[in-house]
Amino acid sequence: MRLTVLIRPKTGILDPQGEAVQTSLEALGFAVTEARVGRLVELEIDTDDEERAIAEVERMCGELLANPLIESYEIVRRPA
């Protein structure tokens, strides 16, 4: 099963990288008022049991993929 984890800077948490990107986009003439930069992790999990796969990825996020102090995450299923 293919799952994607989207990791974002938490709402309200300062994102200097996003701010730098927003400034550069504005410099290019784009009317962008906010940019937030996160991370994407694509996973191939050896099971067809979606519930189990998602539970596993939740644990991965808790133990390694995201730092709950500054990041939130979302698990998305990808088409096979």
Partner 1 sequence: MSDGRPRIAVVTFPGSNDDGDACLALSTLGADPVPVWHTAVELPHEVAGVVLPGGFSYGDYLRCGALASLAPVMDGVRAFAADGGPVLGICNGFQILCEARLLPGVLRANRQVQFVCADVAVTVESTETPFTAGCDLGDELVIPIKHGEGNWVADDETFADLVARGRVVLRYVDDVNGSRDRVAGVANEAGNVLGLMPHPEHAVDPLLGCVGGVPILVGLVAAARERSAALA
Q: Of these, 1, 5, 61, 65, which contacts partner 1 (CB under 8 A)?
A: 65
Q: Is the dihedral of CA 1, 79, 62, 20 positive or negative?
A: positive
Q: Site residues for partner 1, window 28-47 (CB under 8 A)?
A: 39
Q: Of these, 32, 40, 55, 70, which contacts partner 1 (CB under 8 A)?
A: 70
Q: Of these, 20, 40, 55, 76, which contacts partner 1 (CB under 8 A)?
A: 20
Minimum CB separation of residue 25 from partner 1 in Å reads: 15
Q: Please report, for residues 9, 40, 45, 65, 73, the alpha-carbon distance to residue 22 in angstroms, rounded to integers and kept in the order given.
A: 15, 19, 35, 25, 22
Kindly give, in sequence order, each residue whose CB lies less than 8 Å from that of residue 74, ignoring residues fewer than 6 positions away.
5, 6, 8
Q: Which residues bind partner 1 (CB under 8 A)?
A: 13-14, 16-17, 19-20, 39, 64-65, 67, 69-70
